[in-house]
Amino acid sequence: MKKLLKKHFGHDTFRSVQEKVIKCFLSGNDAVVVMPTGGGKSLCFQLPALMRDGVTVVISPLISLMKDQVDALLANGIAATMLNSSIEKKELQKRMHDAEKGKYKLIYIAPERLASPYVSEWLGKIKVTALAVDEAHCISQWGHDFRPDYRNLKFFRKRFEGIPVIALSASATQIVRDDIVRELEMNKHQVFVSDFYRENLHLKVISKVNADNKIINLINKHKEESVIVYCFSRKETEQLTKILKAKGINAGSYHAGMAPEKRHDTQEAFVRDKINVVVATIAFGMGIDKPDVRLVIHKTFPKTVEGYYQEIGRAGRDGLSSECVMLYSAGDKIKLDFFLNQMEEDRRSGEEKKIREVMQFAEGRSCRWQWITKYFGQTNLFECGTCDVCLGMADQEDATEIVQKILSAVVRTGNIFGKGHVIKVLRGSKDQNVKSREHHNLSVWGIAKGYSAAELKEYFAHIIARDLLVRNVGEYETFSISQKGIKFLNKQEKIDLPKVQKESILEKRQTQKKESREDFDQEIFAKLRALRKEVADKKRVPAFVIFGDVALQEMAHYLPVTEDEFARISGVGAQKLKRYGKQFTEFIIKLKKEKEEQKIKSVRSGAKQERINSVQKLIGQKKTLEEITRKLSLSKNTIVGYIEEIIEDEKDLRIEYLLLSKKAQNEIKKAVKKNKTGKLRPIFEECEGRYSYEEIRLVVMNSRSLKQSDSF
């Protein structure tokens, strides 16, 4: 096992429960394996396939998933193939014929093909010795991605009774695991559940207010790194992609409504780093094996916790630190209700329960990872210390007074209302619903005017998490005070809570005093002043008649780019919005673009120089090209290019130790002399491919640096 692991997969040791799973599967027992995305599930059936006679048939739901795995196996020297609708009939028949001759160790098949009598007859002609079911949660109607075609596996089990079966999933809960065992008719089997915690993934849930700008800021934090943004609908996907492209972000769309070739092009461009951001529906990702996704954003909260877990699992598969951000608004449930209404009644309640679970996760104020691992049935509870909740816990404040006010408002309004109504009462709203119930006459009306609605929602979340309030039974989300809450009020207990994050200044600007600011962009302010003067001169009025300095300072701070944002600036009324809104926002968009372009150029230039300096330093330490490649995660071609730049800058760089033997150097020099075009390909061909392009370049540049080019 260890020899094959090293030979074909390049690893010296197994991870997590891999070795136990492989031994179980090789002994002829069935196995259910639940491992996080990137945890190494595929190895659990791929390695045993090499140790068995005959063929392991792998059931996989997506063509892209099959292709990635088959390509990887072939690259590792393992005979594998796939049979699906993307393959032309003639090639398909050839592969099936080759399988009958025993040419493959693994054959990947789509589940819908198992119901075909033709395929069933063909399978009888090959020596099938094991079955692997990838994404096995698809077999369960309780799973988040149920696929009826997976029920065809019953035909396979009857056809090949007695062969061992391994079922694998990244997100199967206990009820789904039980369903997998039942559907696959497993008797003598073992269940292996790896730890659901992924310490390199940092989870965060933020308000959805001003969502697009927040997404842009998050992506800009991860410039030139791979990012996936999940959206609710095809339309939302296209709209956000357009917005990101307008901001200079290299983004592409992916959803089921696109032509297959366009989806393929987006996926290929992402995998090959031609684009770094994919904006997608959940149709994207299951078949993606990209290890260096650094950010996963959910613009709308997902429909299930299992789906969320699988989707964030596409981040940081290489084990390096990555960020997972969910933009949350309870109002998004209205969108999801549309899909619920399309379902049969018996499924609808189950799906609604799953949505409620996601909302509980988003609104919860216990450690995010603690919540997720508990959901999947793991009892080794802990606090990760890195999610937004854990980090917030470190900065606490005395919240006794505001908690007392909220609990009192819940009681005074009758313990029968949702958060929204109670918050309106607390903030002194004159809403018709408040007045019609005479809640504006209550003693609690307006006692929390100093808090924004968002801040009060945050306090509500903490109070619910600490069981001071409980959700009432019923269709609508309403709350009543718990026994614990009553005790808190009666005994006047003290409570500390994490400091509630204030809303962004722009979002609550209307409640601020109109004061001069200091935290604005001075350069943009100067350019706005110049524009104001230009407009004022044309109008033949003083500059302050157009806008005062306070307004320009706020513009230079908030950088409003929409009418709605511009309308919140101090001194902007309806007329000024109508007269100057478009001109000023277009000017600000232009300034922001210029700033972003300058910033991108600066970052790229600095990062490259840093890499060049690192190469120079490592060569000074006489490190080999292979060592430099591993250390800096750069290709040999890039490293040699940097060496060339260093030498061209007339810096002293001794690279003789990197060169080939004298005999090889002389052969390359003769080839250079013979081919005076200066191009590398003729030299490479003259040497009959004995030396790589990098080896040739090093010899040439070393000769130039020593001013020996005449000796060619």
Whether the predicted pLDDT of 344 surpasses 70: no
> Other C-beta atoms within 10 Å of 406: how many?
29
Residue 411: CB atoms within 10 Å? 15
The answer to whether the 396-498 and 621-711 domains have the same CATH topology is: yes
What is the pLDDT confidence band of residue 248, given thresholds at 50, 70 and 90? very high
Dist CA 658 CA 644 (whole Å): 13
Residue type, 484: K
- CA dist 274 and 468 (Å) reads 51
What residues have CB less than 8 Å from 303, skipping those under 6 apart? 144, 336, 339, 351, 354, 355, 358
Domain 396-498 fold: Arc Repressor Mutant, subunit A (1.10.10)
What confidence tier does 142 reach under pLDDT thresholds 50, 70, 90?
low
The pLDDT of residue 401 is 93
639 burial (CB, 10 Å; 0-12 / 13-18 / 19+) is buried
Spacing of C-alpha 88 from chain mean position: 34
- Bridge partner residues of 192 (DSSP): 33
pLDDT of res. 706: 59
pTM, entire model: 0.57
Per-residue model confidence (pLDDT) at position 352 = 77
Q: Name the pLDDT band for 587 (thresholds 50, 70, 90).
A: very high
CA dist list (Å): 582 to 319, 546, 563, 579, 594:
47, 14, 8, 8, 18
- The three-class DSSP label of residue 211 is helix
* Average pLDDT for 42-48: 92
Mean pLDDT of the chain: 83
CA separation for the pair 153, 155 (Å, rounded): 5
Mean pLDDT calculated for residue range 75-85: 85
d(CA 671, CA 699): 12
More confident call, 368 vs 607 = 368
Strand partners, 295: 227, 323
Q: What is the pLDDT of residue 567?
A: 84
Reply yes or no on whether the pLDDT at 596 is more than 70: yes
- For the ranges 25-29, 425-429, 663-667, the lowest mean pLDDT is seen at 663-667
Would you kindly state where each structural domain of the chain is located, as residue ranges? 2-193, 201-393, 396-498, 509-596, 621-711
| Cβ atoms of 691 and 660 closer than 8 Å | yes
3-state secondary structure 311-365: HHCCCCCCCCCEEEEEEECHHHHHHHHHHHHCCCHHHHHHHHHHHHHHHHHHHCC
- Alpha-helix residue ranges (DSSP H) falling in 364-514: 368-375, 388-393, 400-412, 419-426, 432-436, 453-465, 483-490
The CATH H-level superfamily of 509-596 is: HRDC domain (1.10.150.80)
Q: Rg of the Cα trace of the chain?
A: 31
pLDDT digits (tens, 9 = 90+) for 632-644: 888 888 888 888 8
Rounded-to-integer distance, Cα 337 and Cα 98, Å: 50
Q: What CATH number has the domain spanning 2-193?
A: 3.40.50.300
Bridge partners (DSSP) listed for residue 498: 396
pLDDT of 707 higher than 90: no
Q: How far is CA 444 from CA 10, 413, 451, 472, 688, in A?
A: 67, 9, 14, 21, 88
Cα(632)–Cα(646) distance, rounded to whole angstroms? 17
Q: With contact defined as beta carbons under 8 Å apart, do 479 and 469 qualify?
A: yes
Instruction: Render pLDDT for 15-39 as a digit per residue (tens, 0 to 9).
Output: 878 999 999 999 999 999 998 876 7
What are 187-238's pLDDT values in tens digits?
A: 789 999 888 888 889 999 988 878 999 999 999 988 878 899 999 889 999 9
DSSP β-bridge partners for residue 470: 480
Residue 513 clears pLDDT 50, i.e. is over it: no
112, 59 Cβ separation under 8 angstroms: no
d(CA 314, CA 200): 12
> What is the mean predicted confidence (pLDDT) over 245-269?
88
Residue 272: φ, ψ to 5°: -95, 15
Cβ atoms of 504 and 210 within 8 Å: the answer is yes
Range with the largest mean pLDDT of 342-356, 577-591, 690-704: 577-591
- The answer to whether the CB of 330 falls within 8 A of the CB of 460 is no
The 3-class SS string of 249-292 reads: CCEEEECCCCCHHHHHHHHHHHHCCCCCEEEECCCCCCCCCCCC
List residues bridging with 325 in a β-sheet. Answer: 204, 297
Q: What's the average model confidence in pLDDT over 649-659?
A: 77
Q: 201-393 maps to which CATH number? A: 3.40.50.300
Low-confidence winner among 58-67, 568-577, 661-670 (lowest mean pLDDT): 568-577
Confidence tier at 167 by pLDDT (50, 70, 90) = very high
Name which of 265-274, 321-330, 338-347, 389-398 the model is least confident about: 338-347
User: Looking at residue 288, what is its pLDDT?
Assistant: 64
Q: How many residues are recorded in the chain?
A: 712
Distance (Å, rounded) from C-alpha 42 to C-alpha 54? 18
Burial class (CB within 10 angstroms; exposed 0-12, middle 13-18, buried 19+) of 699: buried
Pick the CATH number of 621-711 from 3.40.50, 1.10.3470, 1.10.10, 2.60.120: 1.10.10
